[in-house]
A and B are shown apart, each in its own frame.
Chain A
């Protein structure tokens, strides 16, 4: 009797969690289909190539143009810039915390860094605008401080907690056995870190980098405030740019629901989604490749 009851209980729990998992997948699918349903109109009206490669974005003129290239380039430049700053710095900080710092320092520093992730992005934008921008302008002698570089810097600071936190976890997960084996062979601490610990944590470090990039490419508010928002193709990182996310946020309020401009903004959403999807896919491929090497099934 009791065993039968607990059988029902087990089944109930199984279905309950199955339902929750299923709901999240359903939600994802709904978001995905909404994005495409609303956005596909612009691709048929304007043409995929004209939309992605067009350089003029004049959504409300007499003859509107919907060329998203300046924004796509803007997003990519700002994201890559942020990644080039945040990934090395973040992994460096993580190495210090995991391998060098005494336990007390590590615990305090990690808590503080993780707290940084909780600061609202608009506050970062604010700091970028009032603190970073004037300094950058003076230091680099630029006509305007609101540039792709400024945005990349602010995004790098925002992505840093993610990169540090996940990298530190990855380094911490490298078995102590590996470190001891390396030290016992007469390797120095530094050789052990570079040749054993970092390669062993490779997949985790990759995930940290990709999540950092993901945070950077999706960020809207801070970028809207500091990137300068010029709808031009930048010639250098010291030109103002406008990102995909900033455009959607800035223009959504002015559109008529179902109109071409509205569709075009959803189209931008599709483009952004595709970029992040490709990033995730690449990460995933690298992940499965490295983990199969670890298991010894390929190479």
Chain B
């Protein structure tokens, strides 16, 4: 496990219209690790996740203060193009959202918009990405069938393959398993373990067992503030803050 901060936020404040959704969040994301964000609904963990690839830019009325660093460069600097940034920092959403097109075209979408046109090259990317997402064996005979015919768990792995196809460095996952059954969830968690060696992963989850199973570090959010951050094991066995302990033991949330 390497100690370098792949991403880091410094004194991050986020306002949505009159409401302050994130309060002074300073948070490290270590390279080639899985960092879990936990906390009750509405605590700002998804909002925080979306600041890491500037997906909040899409929402009108959002304002940001502070810094978000990727490899020590502030991604909110004026010269940073969010389109280029999102190629480096990919995102998997809560509900599986494959495009209404074939499995192949879903995976090839990203590489194509980034200028890869060569058919052999695309074929290779599609196969590699699907294999990395542990989906290749299940879909290799139906690549040109609609992605909407896949099961929820397969769709979510397809979405991950789609993210891998643009070769990101960081993958953000916003409750990726919340719409999945236990078996699909287990497969997804295995996949997260495998991906860790090549990517840096930040995952928002409601499920504390999941956070404990998949992550190396955990951050606990409450009412827009980052209450506690530590190594996952420590967090779940010996939390430093009372609120963390209350949440983990199920006293609220």
Contact = CB atoms under 8 A, between A and B. Distances in A.
B144 interface: yes
Contact of A185 (B102, B144, B150, B162): B162
B196 interface: no
Given A184-B86, A299-B145, A195 B109 contact: yes
Contacts of A196: 99, 109
Interface in B9-51: none
A178 B146 contact: no
B109 A185 contact: yes
Contacts of A186: 83-87, 110, 113-114, 166
A299 B146 contact: yes
B182 interface: no
Interface string B177-194: 000000000000000000
Interface stretch (B64-72, B89-97, B242-250): B89-97
Contact of B95 (A177, A183, A299): A177
B109 A294 contact: no
Contacts of B100: 178, 199-200, 293-294
Interface residues of A, number: 26
A177 B93 contact: yes
A181 interface: yes
A175 interface: yes
A contacts with B: majority SS: helix
A60 to B, nearest CB: 57
Contacts of B126: none
Contact of A299 (B93, B113, B114, B144): B144
Contacts of A183: 55, 58, 86
A191 B83 CA distance: 11
Nearest to A293: B146
A141 interface: no
A184 B58 CA distance: 10
B149 interface: yes
B148 interface: yes
Contacts of B159: 181
B154 to A, nearest CB: 12
B113 A180 contact: no
Interface in A104-145: none
Central interface residue in B87, B100, B147, by most chain A CB within 10 Å: B100
A103 B59 CA distance: 12
Contacts of B99: 178, 181-182, 196, 200
Contact of A180 (B55, B145, B166): B55
Nearest to A192: B113
Nearest to A200: B100
A162 to B, nearest CB: 25
Contacts of B95: 177
A23 B149 CA distance: 39
Interface in B100-116: 100-102, 109-110, 113-114
A103 B95 CA distance: 26
A296 B151 CA distance: 11
Interface string A163-193: 0000000000001011111111111100100
Nearest to B148: A296
Given A186-B113, A294-B100, 13 more contacts: A102-B60, A175-B97, A177-B93, A180-B93, A181-B97, A184-B86, A184-B91, A185-B163, A186-B85, A186-B166, A199-B100, A295-B148, A296-B145
10 contacts: A178-B97, A178-B99, A181-B97, A183-B55, A184-B55, A186-B86, A195-B109, A295-B146, A296-B148, A299-B145
